[in-house]
Amino acid sequence: MGNICSRSSNEPEAFAGPGRVVGAPPAGSSNAPRASVPAKANWKNSPGRTLGESSPQQGGSDEARSNAAIAAQKRAEAASASSKGKLGTKLAAQKAKTQTQTLNEVSQTERAVRDADGAEEARQWN
């Protein structure tokens, strides 16, 4: 028990050591070389640009980007229209149903289940 609570294995308290002067570097820090700040800031002399405006380096990439988006949209529409498959066809039919049609279908299913349960009880009656 004495080994667990001994002072030698615990870390020293924060204010147990000697103090240091305000503004002095922390103890153990090295004077490693640091990156220098650029002497001339180019952003001060530039007029800036409006949000969304393309810069001269981009070379009209906004137009290319919009053309690519339009082409991708056309490809997606063509792919979905031509190859819906079995599930896509079922989904389209389900989306086309009105709320009344859906409720009627569910109601018919529930009636069929109740009728099947009633028939099963009648068969088991002794």
Q: For the chain, which residues make up each domain, given as ranges?
A: 60-124
Q: Which amino acid is at 23?
A: G
CA atoms within 13 A on the CB side of 109: 6
56's tokens: 């001269």
Q: Is residue 93 predicted with pLDDT exceeding 70?
A: yes
What are the tens digits of pLDDT across the range 80-89? 666 677 888 8
Q: Is residue 35 predicted with pLDDT exceeding 80?
A: no
pTM > 0.85: yes or no:
no
CA distance 115 to 121: 10
Q: Is residue 3 predicted with pLDDT exceeding 60?
A: no
What are the tens digits of pLDDT across the range 49-71? 677 655 555 555 788 889 999 99
